[in-house]
Amino acid sequence: MSSFEQILSSPPPININTSDIAHDLFPFVTVYKNGTIKRHFGQPAMPAPENLNGVRTKDVVVSSHPKVIARVFLPEFLTPGEKLPVLLYYHGGGFCIESALSACYTPYTSSIASACKVIVVSVDYRLAPEHKIPACYDDSWEALKWVVSHASGSGPDPWLNQHGDLGRVFLAGDSAGANISHTLATWAGVKGLESGVKVSGIILVHPFFGNDKPDKLWNYCCSDETGIDDPRLNPAADPDLLAKLACGRVLICTAENDFLSPRGWAYYEALKKSEWKGEVEIVETKGMGHVFHLFNPNCEQAGSLMKLVASFIKDDKVHSLL
């Protein structure tokens, strides 16, 4: 069991006066009747390091209205004109905690850039409950459009202009971020992307999807009332939309001891049964829990997971099991 799952299975602290609580979404957030929102989990933001894991880093504004920031990671020692795939990363945290700028995600996404030799654009979308769903999807879509604006080599960011291969764009994320990656791939299929850019693949690590039961966190964080029939929460609810997934390849990574693992497998089965024409692979890490690679990034299994992601980006065949 991961640290996150230990917290998830623990009761709220006994010193909380429950009469003051309007909404108890422990371990993510507690919303009090006076409007105060307390987050119980997540790491603080850190400044963009000049260099981390052999990767240059900076923060950029990808949208002004609303203001959306992304942290961009560029591997060092590139030759002039060398082009790399571009991977948009969407962090996890139940749509309501964590940040692309945090001390958790900054080292991890820099490691992706280094190990996979890609440009990573890690998106700091707005969080619920202050900003209800679909704010997270809208911000993430703005970031994808910002990346696409560099297709002609004349976008706002010189790193992407000089080194981004917009013919190889990937969407990736863990937990809620994996959910966002899937949803954006369906949006791209329905709305299309300017400049003829296509999404090469999506990488869903320990994805947060719903099942056939109401989800308390989703219902509170979402401005709509579609519940388990919402295809953003439950992709199998709309097979026609699932078939419009705008990529040719999907990699789903689950963990054997993760409480969300069955939902990743259900997504895999729904995608295979749909009219989508791409290739989907699923890989399960034995003996590990939810987002273990974030809590223990130096463990053997985390290293294997990173190699798996790198292999997928290079369009190599991955192994069926870790």
From the list 175, 181, 200, 261, the catalytic residue is 175
* Residue in the block written with tokens 């996979």: 116
* Residue in the block written with tokens 């390849």: 249
Please report whether residue 1 resides in a domain: no
**Residue span of the structural domain in which 60 resides:** 44-314
Please report whether residue 97 resides in a domain: yes
* Residue in the block written with tokens 């080194």: 163
- Per-residue pLDDT in tens (0 to 9) along the chain, 322 residues: 444 555 444 444 545 566 788 787 767 878 888 888 888 777 888 999 999 989 999 999 999 999 999 999 999 999 998 999 999 999 999 999 999 999 999 999 999 999 999 999 999 999 999 999 999 999 999 999 999 999 999 999 999 999 999 999 999 999 999 999 999 999 999 999 988 788 999 999 999 999 888 888 898 889 877 778 899 999 999 999 999 999 999 999 999 999 999 999 999 999 999 999 999 999 999 999 999 999 999 999 999 999 999 999 998 555 444 4
Q: Which two tokens stand for residue 196?
A: 């003829």
CATH of residue 67's domain is 3.40.50.1820
SS3 319: coil
From the list 124, 174, 230, 258, the catalytic residue is 258
CA angle 261, 182, 74 (to 5 degrees): 100
Q: Please count the structural domains in the chain.
A: 1
Sequence-ordered list of residues with C-beta below 8 angstroms from that of 139, at least 6 positions apart, any chain: 63, 66, 68, 123, 125, 126
Please report whether residue 132 resides in a domain: yes
Please report whether residue 11 resides in a domain: no
Neighbouring C-beta atoms of residue 109, cutoff 10 Å: 25
Query: Which pTM value belongs to this model?
Result: 0.91
Q: Known catalytic residue: 175? A: yes
Please report whether residue 124 resides in a domain: yes
From the list 131, 163, 290, 293, the catalytic residue is 290
Please report whether residue 322 resides in a domain: no
